[in-house]
Chains A and B, each alone.
Chain A
Amino acid sequence: MDELGDIVQEFLVESHENLDQLDRDLVALEQQPGSRELLSSIFRTIHTIKGTSGFLAFNRLERVTHVGENLLARLRDGTQVMTPETTDTLLRMVDVVRTLLAAIEETGAEGEVDVEGVIAAVTSCIDSGDGAGAKAVAAPGGPASPTAASPAAASAGAAATAPAAGPAITEPPAAVVGAAVVGAAVVGAGAAPEAGAETTPEASAGGPAAIEAVAQASSVEVSPLEAVAEPAPDAPVATAPAGSVDDEHGPGQARRSIADSSIRVDVDLLDKLMNLVGELVLTRNQMLRAVNASSDATLARTGQRLNLITSELQEGVMKTRMQAIDHLWSKLPRVVRDLSSSVGKQVRLAMEGRETELDRSLLEAVKDPLTHLVRNAVDHGIEAPADRVAAGKAAEGVLTLRAYHEGGHVIVEVADDGKGMDPDRIAAVAVKRGLLTRDQVAHMERREILNLVFKPGFSTADKVTNVSGRGVGMDVVKTNIERIGGAVDVESTQGEGTTWRLTIPLTLAIIQALTVECGTERYAIPQVAVHELVYLDGQNGRVIEHAMGAQVYRLRGKLLPLVRLDETLGLPARSGDRDVYVAVLQADGRRFGLVVDRVLNTEEVVVKALSSRFKEIGMYAGATLLGDGRVALILDVPALARRAHLNVGAVERAQAEIDAQTRGAGDAVDRLLIAGVGDRRVAIPLDMVTRLEEFPLERFERVGAREVVQYRDQILPVLRLAQLLGVYSAAEDEATSVPVVVYTERGRSVALAVDRIVDIVEDVVDAKRDFGDDGLMGSAVIQQRVTELLDVRRAIMAADPRFDADADTDAGYDIEQTMMVGA
């Protein structure tokens, strides 16, 4: 009985996989109705289920799949043409098959699942097809011949299960021996005549059992039933069907061989490995520190090797937990299809980057939010066909799913080309609901207003449908994504569409974190929340100001509420208002500054769960181990954000005053990064800077005549500004490391090597004089000193002439980038 149970189990697993494939195929079929390939694939799947269900005496299942198969056979042979009705009927049939399988899984029997309705529907589909496609019926042999050929396919599908029930069990030793030898013959595909002759007696000794075993051992799908029915007198017969596997068996075979080359591993085991690797990384870090301090060359080499191996191991173990996002996406075509037809819209689903990989557990966590966003986009984002045409768009809306890696995170975008969101309307609803006052709204940025949709209970839908519009959802999406250390953002242009963007960490276990120091302790902040860093030296307006008791900083003319980490954590207030760093963080759609004593660096940290006893403090998202083995707490940014907005009123009043003062003074303020090259000062527009880094000399390598560095899995061309400007740089001779300004545009980066980073200034730069140096726009007086303004694009062209060719040329320099300016 147990064996039968196992067979059923295997049947269920296989069938579920097949059904997922079926959903995809059916929806794809609608796009290309004539595809024989897809039809054959669908036919095969249904046929396999039918074959096995007959064998296992699941009669209802057999009857449903039987009529389905008839319909599919007609479609495949061109006797009948695919229509939306046909697709609906087939999908309905698939649903019934699912229900039946679920019943079997639960109770072991089919139960009382109603199948008559769907059988009638499919039958009527066949009948109506008869009328419509009368011409095509000219080939009456059509449906018959595939049916005749099909038992082979069916039993091939059942191959995995059938042998267990077959006579193989009675004669295991013989079967094994026979299998080994005959199997070898099959593998030696050429099948030399002597080899075939040799195996013959063995094979006959093993009898049908041996041949079945061959089918398994060589992992080629043969039809065992066929082989049994015709007890093979000699090996060649057994090898023949195996060798001449026809097209129909193709995909099945591929599936089987994938199964053969992979094993199932307990996720707990992988977690444990991951933890161990995390520890190894720490030990490696400690080791390297010790190695650097010693002068032993052998030890240094060993350390370097350890370093490499550890990194590779870490990568490898992380990969074991990775799955392509396609696992999630493959379910969505059906969702979109069903939903769009139920709300009377035409939607095409496009997917980009489906091979992008994510940690398994994260994939699970992203599933619901993603489905929600997709449903929402179909229901609210994309307009009805008539409205679209009226607006001058194609009647068919396009929903694009996009996944890619960016800065240690995976970005998943759900973009529609629908009507977009109206910030005024959102603001009006927010005021009406009493979530905000009119005054508050007046001072909010467009982006902030759009982000209001993430507030609980917020919905601008005119009417509630059964799909969405109830105002639950977006806040749940946000909560779910933030729970796994991610972030959600929305960008929308009225009339053109809306893009939801999920930023998801690569794994739960390892995150990019910014380490900061406050008091004597270090704390980690998830990098995903960090927008920029500002150093306050207490001069030139870079000061902490007070507005009705609330501490604020003027960040580009806007007041940024500040939270002092020392105060918040109840530490003795050590830092004054000068010589501190402000980390500009964003969470819950709010932006605020966290005042810390020092910013140390960004690194990948292994997240450790924190004992439940600290949950009620509500300030920590976890703990981690730093390079020196010490424990550091990971700050809970949303919790800090809530604290920052306790005194939001005071900040807003102050902002209103500032706005009143500055109104009219329309001069755009430039933000410039000042770098030192030799004794010259060069200003680089900060908007173009993605990161500041410091690379040790040995990181610089040569490719041909050019210098490059490896950076985040990219090879960056290096442009030494000293060379460009023709400056002799004294610093270059002694330095062991080089400060580098990383500039990124559309995924391509360039490293600008300078002698030192001097400062970042906000200034109205007007005193430009053009001396016409190559790569320079001119010069200006900044901070009482003449400073040259770098023309970054021209400078880059000098280092990497292809840079421009690859990037789109329409580019202004207005790409928005998360900017990190670190110490």
Chain B
Amino acid sequence: MASRQYATFEVADQLFGLDVANVQEVLSFHEYTPVPLAPRSVGGLFNLRGQVIAAVDLRVQLGLPPRDFEGPAMNVIVRTEEESVSLLVDRIGEVVELDDEAFEPPPDTLTGPSRDLITGAFKLDTRLMLALDTARAVQTSTADGNDE
């Protein structure tokens, strides 16, 4: 049975997962440089060992109000084709190994901005984990992210 590893994390008490292969590292950071005029979903820039990384606020991407930047935030650094990008999340979970069998397409009741970011749901023992589409989750230049 085919199975995959997912790095999991929580945003607004919902569990999300990303294919581990796309995740570079996870770290906590607290100083972000805001980018004026950037889409609202851009939380800021920070220095990751000499590399300038853009942090994307996953809350905004999911259609929630932006996070406040008091205190450190958790970053899931994902690798995309062009660059490394950070996704700002609330809490980091475990790395879980999931059978493809536990996968289901996104429920029809799921609507709004989050619908586009999600490839499907995994049924865990106690809760659901929504699998994120990496490329879409970090994309900030679309019109709906740029509502300011």
Residues of A at the B interface (CB closer than 8 Å) are 275-276, 278-279, 282, 521, 569-571, 608-614, 616-617, 619-620, 623, 625, 629-633
Contact = CB atoms under 8 A, between A and B. Distances in A.
Contact of B50 (A282, A610, A620): A282
Interface of B: 31, 33-39, 42, 44-47, 49-52, 54, 82-83, 85, 139-141
A521 B141 contact: no
A625 B47 contact: yes
B50 A623 contact: no
Contacts of B54: 611, 613-614
Contacts, number: 62
Nearest to A606: B50
10 contacts: A278-B50, A279-B50, A570-B36, A608-B52, A613-B42, A613-B140, A623-B45, A630-B47, A631-B33, A633-B35
Given A570-B36, A631-B33, A613 B141 contact: yes
A521 B31 CA distance: 11
Nearest to B33: A631
A282 B42 CA distance: 25
A612 B33 CA distance: 17
Contact of B37 (A278, A279, A570): A570
Nearest to B41: A613
A521 B33 contact: yes
B50 A625 contact: yes
Contacts of A521: 33-34
Contacts of B83: 611-612
B95 to A, nearest CB: 27
A570 B45 CA distance: 17
Given A611-B85, A616-B141, A623-B52, A629 B47 contact: yes
A173 B44 CA distance: 63
Given A613-B38, A625-B52, A629-B47, 15 more contacts: A279-B50, A282-B50, A569-B37, A570-B36, A611-B85, A613-B39, A613-B42, A614-B35, A614-B42, A617-B37, A617-B38, A620-B35, A623-B33, A623-B52, A631-B45
A565 to B, nearest CB: 9
A630 B31 contact: yes
A413 B15 CA distance: 62
A625 B53 CA distance: 11
A632 B37 contact: no
A278 B51 CA distance: 10
Contacts of B82: 611-612
A631 B47 contact: yes
A619 B34 CA distance: 13
Given A611-B85, A613-B140, A613-B141, A275 B36 contact: no
Contacts of B47: 625, 629-631
A571 B36 contact: yes
Interface centre among B38, B45, B50 (most CB of A within 10 A): B50
A623 B38 CA distance: 14
Nearest to B44: A631
A276 B36 CA distance: 28
B46 A631 contact: yes
Nearest to A275: B50
Given A613-B140, A623-B45, A631-B45, A608 B51 contact: yes
Q: Residue among A278, A611, A619, A633 with the most chain B CB within 10 A?
A: A611
Nearest to A279: B50
Contact of B33 (A282, A569, A571, A632): A632
